Amino acid sequence: MDVTSKNLVVEKAKTSRIEQIDFDHLPFGANFTDHMFVCDYKNGQWETPKIIPYQPLMMEPSASVFHYGQAVFEGMKAYKDDEGGIWLFRPDENFRRINRSGERLAMPAFPEEYFFEGLKKLLLLDQEWIKPGIGNSLYIRPFVIASQPAIIASPSQEFKFIIICSPAQSYYGGEVRVKIAEKFSRAADGGFGYTKAAGNYAGQFYPTNLAKEEGFQQVVWTDANTHEYIEEAGTMNIFIRLGDKLITCPTSDRILDGVTRKSVIALAEDRGIEVEVRPIKVVELLEGMKDGSLKEMFGSGTAAVINPILGFGYKGERYELPKVENSYAATIKKQLMDIQYNRAEDKFGWRYRV
């Protein structure tokens, strides 16, 4: 496979929709830029990638993805600094992860050079959609779907790798409180909870709707066997602060290896904060509420960035976290965003210039 950027076909949109967008009020993931990247896999190989105007897909109703959910995705962001420079944050992590997810769902690996050349070209074409200023970003959604018209329950032989982009501000519009799962589960040992498979998200919608009816914005999943240990929130990995220690559970085949999660760990350790990566028992939260040692809870993710969790519900009881001085979430979020927006030294080498 030696197609290079010379073979990236670009068809520019005749007009732009950018004037129709209210960049001061952006519901998450509702508006899309003028172009998209598409690459088809057929006859055992990825064909020449294309950038084309953003448009509906023509697919047969028998395409495998509609029946068996053979689909994976990623979430990334592009940031613009005050001089107009465009930056990605650790994009190599997302590239590797979409192929890890794909491998678990019996999909062919996507070539690195197609990914980076296509992504860079797409971002440069739609760069006006990336607004400068902390909090503004372009959310990038690469995804792979099984496109073979065949409803036999076996892996598709045809796929589409697509990248679409959406101007974004915050993911959660307001305060976040979570329900700790007692009955439903997100992932099981030996399953594919660690992947960004579409079905991992669809399976959360119903329990999350029930939690929303009770006034929570998200479910914090617990281990499927005992429901005694905290895992992740589906759109975010979870951190708690007990005393001065920052604690998050280890990743596993049930838990997403979040890029923001591992960046938070590195930034916290770099500040001299003691970080423990170990299983977290739900009772530790309850005890921490009782003795005052539970000082913070927050989620981390590309879309959510670092989002404080103000309270949680468990077994019919509601718990409200105390207000905290010197919040780890706020400090680490600032440090992270300063790196992402090219406002601070990048000592870890995470920034990637487009």
> Does 201 contact ligand COI by CB under 6 A?
yes
**Which is nearer to ligand COI, 168 or 354 (by Cβ)?**
168
- Which tokens belong to 287? 């005890």
Q: Which of 49, 75, 193, 308 binds ligand COI (CB under 6 A)?
A: 75
> Does 116 contact ligand COI by CB under 6 A?
no
Alpha-carbon gap, residue 25 to 167, rounded angstroms: 10
Tell me the window of 51-59, 130-138, 149-157, 297-305 that interacts with ligand COI (CB under 6 A). 297-305
> Does 301 contact ligand COI by CB under 6 A?
yes
- Whole-angstrom CA distances from 316 to 211, 214, 215, 292, 310 are 11, 10, 12, 21, 17
- Which tokens belong to 89? 């944050």
Sign of CA dihedral 107, 68, 163, 200: negative
Write down the least CB distance from residue 75 to ligand COI, Å: 2
**Which is nearer to ligand COI, 77 or 295 (by Cβ)?**
77
**Which is nearer to ligand COI, 201 or 352 (by Cβ)?**
201
Q: Which of 51, 72, 303, 332 binds ligand COI (CB under 6 A)?
A: 303
What are 88-95's contacts with CB under 8 Å, separation 24+?
Answer: 88/119, 88/123, 88/351, 88/352, 88/354, 89/259, 89/263, 89/339, 89/340, 89/350, 89/351, 89/352, 90/259, 90/263, 90/350, 90/352, 91/116, 91/119, 91/352, 92/352, 93/259, 93/262, 94/142, 94/259
> Does 263 contact ligand COI by CB under 6 A?
no
Q: Which of 222, 302, 307, 340 binds ligand COI (CB under 6 A)?
A: 302
Count the residues of the shown chain that bind ligand COI, applying the rule CB under 6 A.
7
- Whole-angstrom CA distances from 184 to 188, 220, 343 are 11, 10, 42
**Which is nearer to ligand COI, 76 or 282 (by Cβ)?**
76
Residues in 226-255 at the binding interface with ligand COI, rule: CB under 6 A: 235
Tell me the window of 182-190, 215-223, 300-308, 315-323 that interacts with ligand COI (CB under 6 A). 300-308
> Does 217 contact ligand COI by CB under 6 A?
no
Residues near ligand COI (CB under 6 A) are 75, 201, 235, 301-304
